[in-house]
Amino acid sequence: MIELNVYKKFKILIINLFLFLIFFVLIDLTLGFFYGNIQFSHFLNSKRIVNKNITYELDEKKISLNYQRDYYGFRNDSDFKKYDLKDVKIILTGGSTSDELILPYEKTIVGQLNSYFLKDETNHKIFNASESGKSLRGIFHDFDKWFGKLDAFNPDYMIFYIGINERDIRYVKYQKEDEVKPTFKQLIKHNSFFFQKKRFYERLKFIKEDNEIFEAKNLGGYFVDNENIKKKIRTSKVISYKTAKKKYILNKKDKEVLNAFSFNLNLLKQVLKKKKIQPIFISQIDYRVNGNKTLFFINEKLEEFCIENKFHIISLNKIIDETNIGNYFVDYIHTNADGSEFIAKKIYPELNKILN
């Protein structure tokens, strides 16, 4: 009799577990992302629905800001709601110099440009697709692993703020990655409602703030705490375009970088032509404008490419006539809020002409 009762209890337990498992799977299939128009991969897992509180010190002042990336992965000051991707007509992409991790959105170059458009009552808005460390190689992957996942995404213009991350040959050469099918573990991890906290945020409309305190030395490529660098950039004079043109001589390494850069630009041209996107290129600068030899030659190659293909280019390294801009930089390449405003004001008139 006792054995029979144990058997019945075990049978009831097994049935309940089985029913719970079925219920669990049905809920996950309903609330998860195993099907639908947008199938975000692991490539975008850490790049979308981001709300980080970043705190660091600069010039003995404590700076705190919210760094946000919206539902589709663009750096924004949004509330993470979905919006119509048909309204996304202008994209700006680049590396950390346009992602601008250490600045609040409204102080970034893109934020400043959008405020100018709003003030002038022009129907333009730039969506920021920049990410720290991104080069042309990363931009190619974006078309495949990011933009290609966005249904109805068809921008008219793409603004490329590139050059600095093309200086090293290791980050210039592009090779298309083989398409790797996700494992069962990856499929569950990136699409399950229960096994990824971000899915709860999306479905339940709740965003948790990640409080991350960054020390200056951990700001990933920024050198805001280096007193020697700050002293150097604030006392250095601008190297004008004319001076750089006379001063710099190509070496073997520069030629290798330029050949790879040129190859990638032509690959990009094919992608843009296929997708019917008009490119706008902006040359990059450092704290001396034309202070880096390799970057100077990259800007020259970029302008040559644009002229040859009748693409728009805003040669930022040519239009700056100030003698010292060191106070606009926190290190050799990254601008502070004043520097981003300075750059936005320089490129806005030309950009506005192109878009209008």
Alpha-carbon 41 to chain mean position: 16
- Cα separation values, 289 from 107, 193, 222, 281, 302, Å: 21, 48, 18, 17, 16
20/170: higher pLDDT: 20
Q: Both 18 and 161 in a single domain?
A: no
Q: How confident is the model at residue 205 (pLDDT cuts 50, 70, 90)?
A: very low
On whether residue 38 sits in a domain, the answer given is no
pLDDT for res 69: 92
pLDDT for res 80? 79
Q: Residue 51: inside a domain, yes or no?
A: no
Neighbour count for residue 34 (Cβ, 10 Å):
15
Query: Do the beta carbons of residue 281 and residue 327 sit within 8 Å?
Result: no
Whether residues 253 and 331 fall in one domain: yes
205 compared with 61, residue with greater pLDDT: 61
Share above pLDDT 90 across residues of the chain, in percent, rounded to a whole number: 54
Instruction: For residue 289, give the DSSP letter.
Output: B
Where is 127: in which H helix or E strand?
Answer: strand 126-128
CATH number at residue 227: 3.40.50.1110
Shared-domain flag, residues 124 and 265: yes
Is 63 a member of any domain? no
Rounded distance, CA 134 to CA 164, Å?
Answer: 10
Q: Does residue 316 carry a pLDDT above 70?
A: yes
For residues 13 and 112, membership in a common domain is answered with no
Which has more pLDDT, 3 or 346? 346
Return d(Cα 154, Cα 221) in angstroms, integer: 32
188 vs 155, higher pLDDT: 155
Q: Is the pLDDT of residue 149 over 60?
A: yes
Query: Do residues 217 and 312 share a domain?
Result: yes
Question: What is the pLDDT, as a whole number, of residue 51?
Answer: 86
CA distance 333 to 356: 30
| Domain boundaries, position 305 | 84-195+213-355
Q: Residue 235 has which token pair?
A: 């006392």
185 is written with which tokens? 């573990």
For residues 144 and 290, state if they share a domain. Answer: yes
* Residue 178 banded pLDDT, cuts 50, 70, 90: very low
Q: Sheet holding 312-314: strands in order across?
A: 126-128, 90-94, 157-162, 278-283, 312-314
Residue 328 has pLDDT above 90, yes or no: yes
Residues 137 and 25 in one domain: no
**Overall average pLDDT of the 253-266 stretch:** 93
pLDDT for residue 171 is more than 60: no
Q: Do 91 and 11 belong to one domain?
A: no
Can you give the pLDDT at residue 215?
Answer: 43
Fill in the amino acid letter for 98: S
Residues 284 and 169 in one domain: yes
More confident site: 305 or 181:
305
Render pLDDT for 79-135 as a digit per residue (tens, 0 to 9).
Answer: 778 889 999 999 999 999 999 999 999 999 999 999 999 999 999 999 999 999 899
Q: CA-CA distance, 27 to 300, in Å (whole number)?
A: 56
CB 78 within 8 A of CB 68: yes
Indicate if the pLDDT at residue 62 is higher than 50. Answer: yes
* C-alpha to C-alpha distance for 152 and 234, rounded to whole angstroms: 46
Residue 123 maps to a domain: yes
pLDDT at 43 > cutoff 70: no
What is the number of structural domains in the chain? 2
Whether 78 is covered by a domain: the verdict is no
Specify the pLDDT at position 179: 46
Residues 268 and 350 in one domain: yes
Would residue 49 count as lying in a domain?
no
Q: What mean pLDDT, rounded, does the chain reach? A: 83
Residue 47 lies in a domain: no
| % of the chain residues with pLDDT over 70 | 76
The pLDDT value given to residue 78: 76
Please give the pLDDT value at position 10. Answer: 73
How much is the pTM?
A: 0.81
Structure token pair of residue 325: 């801009």
The first and second tokens of residue 276, run together, are 């019917």
Statement to judge: residues 308 and 183 lie in one domain: yes
- Position 286 in a domain: yes
91 and 13 inside one domain: no
Q: What is the 3-state secondary structure (H, E, C) of 87-110?
A: HCCEEEEECHHHHCCCCCHHHCHH
pLDDT digits (tens, 9 = 90+) for 272-297: 999 999 999 999 999 999 999 999 99
